[in-house]
Amino acid sequence: MEDPLYPGSSILEQQQAQIISALIPCFGSDSDSTVMVNAINVSSKFVNLPRIKFYSKQRILNTLAFLLEEIASHKFLKFVSLEDMAEYGRKAVQLAILNCWAVLKINLEESETEPEPEFQQILDKYSTLLSSLWILALKDLSTIKYSQPNLKEIKLYSTYWLNFVGVLSLELEKNHSTMSDFLKEEEADFFFVLFCQCAESLIKNQSVSQVLPSVNRLLQVRELVNALFDDEIFGEVIDLLDRLVLMEEDTSVKCEVLDVVKTLFTSFLSINDTLQENEKSKLLELMRVAMLPLFEAFPFLNQDFNVEEAQQQSELSQYKSPSNFILLKKSLSVSVSMVEAFKDHTEKEALFSCLLYIFAKFYEHGDDILVGMILPFLKIVISDSFALSGSKLPVSFYNVLRQSGNFQPGDSKVNHIITMMILLTSGSVELDTEEVDLFSASLVSSVANPETAPTAIHSIKSLIKNLSPSASGSTRIIRSIVKILLKDLLLEEEPKIDQKLALEIVFLVSQSAAVDTVDKRISMYAVLLPLIVKFDESGSIDRQYLHDKVFALLNSDPNAFKAVVNEHLSEEHKRAAEALVKFKQNASSTLDPEEDGIALKTFS
């Protein structure tokens, strides 16, 4: 809380000395376990406060460090009261101090800002000791819970065990080998028991958002992953994941569940090069869970969807919510990543086909917002499926879109233009002559529309960049676009699009990989040079720009330029072109005027 009298300074910062002075006596010899536990918990909150510097916390941290050392060694020199304390009280203090250090480490690991190096140094100093004590504490809990049930002691752990699991899972993520050295042959059993405790908490709907990140990190342990794919266990795992996806109302929790599904899926694939049929079935079950939020949020994806039914009309009216949009992106992101992790090409192709079917359903529904949200994932799937098996799947997907009635190559919607570009450049889909003309006209008309111009221009540039002798689809479209633009520039009294922009597009085509012979360049230059002269004479385009284009053509292919000047330009056009050449030199005065005058004459 900020002090209203001293802006920029918190009340807590001003009172830190009094807080520390009040806490230290609580660790004295006359304090019982309850007082010490409470003092440790308050100290934990204090040392984890973000705005207070290390030097202000150092006295408390030193006290907590000495307490940790003495509890670990069972030699009580500073905290003599612990020696005569009852076992239950001493355990309460021990768990509290271990929790204090666990919370500090978790907060430092998950902090978005760079922590002070002194905090990391003190944690590194006690890292080995703390890890071993956290492991022993969780082993002790397992023994108490499953072998010798003691409700009183179990309750003692209830506040802390999740932090122990959380901090050990973080340690596992950073340094698996160290954890393995601690556990040795007990590693598989230890992590399986940890998972079971987490699963129990999830089943009871307790601390779900805190448990799931730890579970996600635990699933890096190969022995645990293989154990969870056992026939007798996997069904229980799927039931739990199903329940969490369907029953949890918190969107962020559902997203964390999907992360767990993805990690379990990819971890199993990464440690198993060959798959049995029943293992493939289990992986497909995980895929189903990953896609569950889609079918729950968007009823039109279901095969039995009937828009005429009142209940489904009601469901349909509710899908446009921020939470559903978040789940759409998360579910597709996870699903696409899982398919990409598959090593078997046949399985991967079949799953890509399933994803494309889902995408087609979104296009069929016709909601432009939803179509825009799936486009990044469509690009990944089209690119990967093309790399896998050529244009078979992209072509099939395009045909399905055409048949749906909501998608045509002549559509000028931004999302439809982007879809066509994905299919053409990433999926090498070939269009027939009519479709080429429709799409080309759509792109040109979109350039003239301020709302769609950025997308259309970017698309045309991408097609030009994709031009090559082998990219026949892009070449045919660009050829059609150039024809439309030239007709607009040469014949129309009132051009439909900006003349400078149209000229720039034609110029870019002249410099592309598709214009790969002298004859092709001569043909392009023979069109461009008279156009440039025409615009210079009319004054409709900035002369400096036209000058730059003339010199770019000259530098690109002097032989083609010479041929056009000699064979295609009239004397009047030659003089006009020479004036353009001189323009920049006269304006900038950087070159010798006598040399400027022969720039074009050398070609005559």
Determine the pLDDT at residue 104. Answer: 93
Residue 463, token pair as written in the block = 């097609």
Average pLDDT for 564-571: 85
How far apart (Å, rounded) are the C-alpha atoms in residues 402 and 396? 10
Average pLDDT for 124-131: 92
Q: What is the mean pLDDT of the chain?
A: 86
Top pLDDT among 211 and 495 is at 211
Domain termination residue (choose one: 92, 118, 144): 118
Can you spell out the DSSP letters for 43-111? Answer: HHHHHT-SSS-HHHHHHHHHHHHHHHHHHHHT--SS-GGGTTS-HHHHHHHHHHHHHHHHHHHHHHHH-
Cβ proximity of 105 and 167 under 8 Å: yes
User: Tell me: the pLDDT tens digits for 207-229?
Assistant: 999 999 999 999 989 999 999 99
Asked if residue 126 belongs to a domain, the reply is: no
Top pLDDT among 30 and 433 is at 433
Asked if residue 579 belongs to a domain, the reply is: yes
Instruction: Please give the tally of structural domains in the chain.
Output: 2
Average pLDDT for 132-158: 87
Three-state secondary structure call for residue 581: helix
Can you spell out the DSSP letters for 252-301? Answer: HHHHHHHHHHHHHHHHHHHH-SS--HHHHHHHHHHHHHHHHHHHHH-GGG
User: Tell me: the pLDDT tens digits for 436-453?
Assistant: 999 999 999 999 898 999
Sign of CA dihedral 24, 29, 32, 33: positive
Asked if residue 504 belongs to a domain, the reply is: no
Asked if residue 489 belongs to a domain, the reply is: no
- Measured from the Cβ of residue 346, the count of other Cβ atoms closer than 10 Å reads 10
Statement: residue 31 has pLDDT above 60: yes
Asked if residue 570 belongs to a domain, the reply is: yes
How far apart (Å, rounded) are the C-alpha atoms in residues 57 and 49? 9
Confidence of residue 594 (pLDDT cuts 50, 70, 90): very low
User: Tell me: the pLDDT tens digits for 261-319?
Assistant: 999 999 999 998 888 999 999 999 999 999 999 999 998 898 877 766 766 666 667 78
Strand partners, 2: 10
Cβ proximity of 219 and 225 under 8 Å: yes
Q: Which of 8-12, 175-179, 393-397 has the highest mean pLDDT?
A: 393-397
Between the alpha carbon of residue 271 and those of residues 173, 222, 288, 512, the distances in Å are: 16, 7, 21, 46
Statement: residue 604 has pLDDT above 50: no
Sign of CA dihedral 23, 27, 29, 30: positive
Asked if residue 240 belongs to a domain, the reply is: no
Per the structure, the complete domain to which residue 552 belongs is given by 536-604
Pick from 334, 330, 322: nearest CA to 369 = 322
Statement: residue 150 has pLDDT above 90: no
Asked if residue 15 belongs to a domain, the reply is: yes
Residue type, 494: E
Determine the pLDDT at residue 9. Answer: 56
Determine the pLDDT at residue 267. Answer: 95
Cβ proximity of 240 and 199 under 8 Å: yes
Determine the pLDDT at residue 565. Answer: 86
Average pLDDT for 2-28: 67
Determine the pLDDT at residue 85. Answer: 86
Determine the pLDDT at residue 551. Answer: 85
Domain termination residue (choose one: 72, 89, 118): 118
Cβ proximity of 603 and 525 under 8 Å: no
Q: Which of 1-15, 404-418, 440-454 has the highest mean pLDDT?
A: 440-454
Statement: residue 600 has pLDDT above 50: no
Average pLDDT for 10-33: 74
Asked if residue 234 belongs to a domain, the reply is: no
Average pLDDT for 109-128: 87
Which range has the worst mean pLDDT, 9-13, 47-51, 283-287, 515-519? 9-13
Confidence of residue 590 (pLDDT cuts 50, 70, 90): very low
Residue percentage of the chain with pLDDT more than 70: 91
Residue type, 592: D
Domain termination residue (choose one: 64, 93, 118): 118
User: Tell me: the pLDDT tens digits for 330-355?
Assistant: 999 999 999 999 988 889 999 999 99
Top pLDDT among 393 and 562 is at 393
